[in-house]
Amino acid sequence: MPSFLIGLDVGSSACKCMIVDDGMRIICECAQSYPTCYPQSGYAEQDPEDWYQSACLAVRMCLESSGVEAASIIGVSIAGPAHSIALLDCAGSILRPTIHWSDLRSTRQTERLEDEHGDAIFETTYCRVNPAWTLPQLLWLKENQPTLYKRVRRILVVKDYVRYRFTGSFQTDVYDAIGTQLYDVQSDCWSDALLDLVGLAKECLPDIQPATELSGGMTRVAARDTGLRAGTPVAVGSGDSVVEAAGIGAIEPGHCILKLGTAANVNLVSQEPKRHSGAILYRHVVDPLWFAITATNSGISTLQWFAEAFGLAATSSAGASMMHRQVEALAADSEPGARGLLFHPYLQGERSPYWDPRLRGDFVGLVRRHRLEDFARAVLEGVAYSLRDCYELVTTFADSISKLYLIGGGAKSQLWSQLVCDIVGRPLVKPGVQSAAYGSAILAGIATGIFDGWPSAHGRPTLPVKLLQPVEESRQLYDRGFETYRAVAQALRPHVRSLGEMSTSVEQ
């Protein structure tokens, strides 16, 4: 009987499932979306039950579409975003909606933690405090929902919650432990001092296991819900960014990834930990490598905002993909530089390199000649400028950058991909397969012994790649544009903060 592996990516807006054979050839891909709720300004929440139900449905869809028999699935692995946690009571029931990583409600708690404990937190976790992290989110819950907070008995990030529902195991890996900002990176253990800051018992935290270890087998309930066989092995798994990186072959020091996802980021693989106050530092899933991330809050979500704010959403009955094509088509009718219109995409504050949740976005340089297509072009360029801002930060601490990958949903756009290439000014490699679900499938193969390691898995298929080269004329134009982009951001920074203070919303 042939053998197959399942990789799941429980992402920011959908669960993607992929079935591959033992030669890493893709047999089937399916996705099932779920909502993010915005109950008030600055809030973003998801229901952990949606993660599980979407994962189950995506697996069933793949099995049915591919005709692969459940008995031939020999391993499963799950990836997902860091920071967002499910809160469970003593019975394992969900206590409240999850505070999403993009949520800004813990801004005040973040600022207080930074003022009072910032140096100690950075020394312990190798990362500075930000509202995206679990630590300030927990402090917000403790201070604003104390009765509920006292009932918390378990916390699990996205992929760990889905795996908990699959297997009953209460575990995580080092990558996602670091992402909670409750982990002592130097001592390789949960931090008593950080737990004391939020009044959380260590028993509420999962056991930490290697990502490529087996966590357990599918329970009968999970088998019924997914269509898989009870006992099917499930790996511990890891975070979506690092699994995605390993999946495309970014497993050597000097490999660097530009990702145009829901948010965008620049990820550097290094031999040694590259600690920097402007970056997020994790362990790579490939030991003993490290994984540094500079991250902007901008990305595909910015296109979604633009489409809705400028009335494109109402004319797009086909959903998000149609809206993205509309934005791209509009932008193509403008010109490089958007006829002098500049956009700063700080719609949810900003992470790298500013780490300022109060930062605000803007359009600058507006004159009568500007039309909708120029705004569309400026939005695409603004996100790309923000990505270059992250890349420039990486170059300050990278020993070298030998290869640059471009991945993510935004990279499906030929226009946006070339625009990023021109703005960054470096050749970019676009892998033919660039999915955390694919990396998860490899991880499942390693956990079940199909592969000896990541290099062994990458030796199986021949994956198509595309090489982008910057257009020299555009590169020179965008070099000047980037200088202006940064200068204007710095000049306007105190003023947009003042504008923000005029609002009484939670974002402040």
The catalytic residue positions are: 240
Assess contact for 191 and 120: CB atoms under 8 A. Answer: no
User: What CA–CA distance (Å, rounded) separates 378 from 359?
Assistant: 18
Write the DSSP string, 182-197: -EETTTTEE-HHHHHH
**What does the CA dihedral 489, 493, 496, 500 come to, rounded to 10 degrees?**
130
Torsional class of 289: left (φ above 0), alpha (ψ -120 to 50), beta (otherwise): beta
Q: How far is CA 504 from CA 41, 141, 428, 497, 508, in A?
A: 10, 20, 43, 13, 7
Locate all alpha helices (DSSP H) within 18-150, ordered by sequence.
48-66, 107-125, 134-144, 146-149
Q: Which of 279, 205, 227, 239 is nearest to 69 (CA)?
A: 227
SS3 content of the chain, % helix, strand, coil (to 5): 40, 20, 35
- Tokens standing for 128? 């500075």
Assign 417 to helix, strand or coil.
Answer: helix
User: What CA–CA distance (Å, rounded) separates 78 from 128?
Assistant: 27
User: What CA–CA distance (Å, rounded) separates 290 from 175?
Assistant: 10
Q: Which of 412, 401, 385, 239 is nearest to 327 (CA)?
A: 412
Assess contact for 361 and 344: CB atoms under 8 A. Answer: yes
Q: For residue 322, how many other CB atoms are within 10 A of its CB? A: 15
Q: For residue 310, how many other CB atoms are within 10 A of its CB? A: 15
Peptide bond into 288 cis (omega under 30): yes
User: What CA–CA distance (Å, rounded) separates 262 from 286?
Assistant: 25
| φ, ψ at 39 (rounded to 5°) | -65, -25
Torsional class of 227: left (φ above 0), alpha (ψ -120 to 50), beta (otherwise): left
Q: For residue 19, how many other CB atoms are within 10 A of its CB? A: 24
Q: For residue 238, how many other CB atoms are within 10 A of its CB? A: 32
Q: How far is CA 133 from CA 100, 113, 351, in A?
A: 9, 12, 11
